[in-house]
Amino acid sequence: MLVGISCASVNKSGLFPEDELFVTRKFVGNFVECKITPPAYFGNPHVLSITTTLDTLYGKISVYSKKCDFLPGDRLYVRRVYQTTGVFGSWIYQIENENPVKVKYQISELQSGKKVLAQNWF
């Protein structure tokens, strides 16, 4: 019996490697509490600071909202969504619970708790 094995390097070009796994949803802890901060200037959004059981890892998560509909103990996830407006697109980040009635909020780009960008979580 004769067995032949051959290896070759292949240069794949493209935007996304075919074998790479993209994580679009990440568990960030159970909801503990939230604090609403009014806008500093007229026309700016209200910011809601969310504390979870994993806040030592993620810090307080800052989202845009005037109210908080999460319940204590809700399992919270950060979701990365690719949003296109015409030809170009960008990633936006949302925090959501896993209850039958989904509650979603858009995450602010800069996270004040740990002074990092939301995209660094992925």
In the chain (122 residues long), the average pLDDT of successive 10-residue segments reads: 47 52 79 90 89 84 89 90 82 85 81 59 59
Contacts of 9 (CB under 8 A, 6+ apart): none
Give the pLDDT confidence score for residue 110 in this predicted structure: 59
43 located within any domain = yes
2 located within any domain = no
13 located within any domain = no
Give the pLDDT confidence score for residue 33 in this predicted structure: 92
11 located within any domain = no
Residue type, 71: L
Number of domains composing the chain: 1
108 located within any domain = yes
46 located within any domain = yes
Give the pLDDT confidence score for residue 2 in this predicted structure: 47
Tell me the CA distances in angstroms from 22 to 12, 17, 32, 95, one per residue in order: 18, 10, 28, 18
* H/E stretch holding 95: strand 88-97
Token pair listed for 27: 């568990």
Residues 57, 101, 99, CA angle at the centre, nearest 5°? Answer: 45
pTM of the model: 0.71
Nearest to 97 by CA among 75, 71, 68, 72: 75
8 located within any domain = no
Residue range(s) defining the domain that contains residue 115: 25-121
What CA–CA distance (Å, rounded) separates 39 from 85?
A: 27
Give the pLDDT confidence score for residue 7 in this predicted structure: 45
59 located within any domain = yes
Tell me the CA distances in angstroms from 51 to 9, 24, 30, 80, 116, one per residue in order: 47, 21, 9, 19, 16
Give the pLDDT confidence score for residue 18 in this predicted structure: 54
Token pair listed for 52: 């979870």
